[in-house]
């Protein structure tokens, strides 16, 4: 996946190594450049230094959870305009509502979406 001959950069915040590896493999095969952060603090640091095109964010993580990280992404001038898709196992309406209120563009429950569906969602939020 390229934007002006440059690979689309995705930051994925995911503490589960198996899930992170599966997404990294699938997204890399789809042509994206992907970096993995294993906790909220690392996600914030990588977002600031790498300025990804899109962020995939788990909610349950050590150090800083996804809600806290999302709040920080939207407060920092460098990252406030980067689309954030929450990719979580939590499916409660309150979690979905809170994520959207904090600025997430979408909320995907991991078990409900296949890799091709996640890729399609990612593409729908990239600048044309």
Count of domains forming the chain: 1
- Residue 72: pLDDT over 70: yes
Higher pLDDT, 69 or 1: 69
In the sheet that 33-37 helps form, which strands lie side by side, from edge to edge?
A: 33-37, 9-13, 54-57, 84-88, 106-109
40-53 pLDDT tens trace: 999 999 999 999 99
Instruction: List, in sequence order, the alpha helices (H) in 1-128.
Output: 17-29, 40-50, 66-75, 93-102, 115-124
| Average pLDDT value over all residues in the chain | 94
How confident is the model over 14-37, as a mean pLDDT? 96
- Residue 1: pLDDT over 70: no
**CATH number where 53 lies:** 3.40.50.2300
In a 3-state reduction of DSSP, which class is residue 113?
Answer: coil
Residues 6+ apart with CB under 8 A from 65: 40, 59
- Residue 2: pLDDT over 80: no
pLDDT of residue 127: 77
Structure confidence at residue 67 as a pLDDT band (50, 70, 90): very high
Q: Which domain holds residue 13?
A: 2-124
Query: What pTM did the predictor assign?
Result: 0.95
């Amino acid at each position: 996946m390229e934007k002006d001959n440059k690979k689309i950069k995705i930051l994925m915040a995911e503490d589960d190594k198996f899930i992170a590896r599966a997404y990294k493999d699938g997204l890399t095969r789809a042509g994206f450049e992907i970096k993995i952060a294993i906790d909220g603090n690392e996600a914030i640091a990588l977002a600031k230094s790498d300025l990804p095109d899109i962020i995939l964010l788990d909610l349950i993580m050590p150090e800083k959870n996804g809600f806290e990280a999302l709040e920080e992404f939207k407060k920092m001038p460098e990252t406030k305009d980067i689309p954030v898709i929450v990719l979580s196992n939590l499916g409660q309406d309150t979690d979905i509502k809170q994520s959207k209120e904090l600025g997430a563009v979408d909320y995907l429950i991991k078990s409900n979406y296949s890799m091709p569906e996640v890729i399609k969602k990612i593409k729908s939020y990239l600048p044309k």
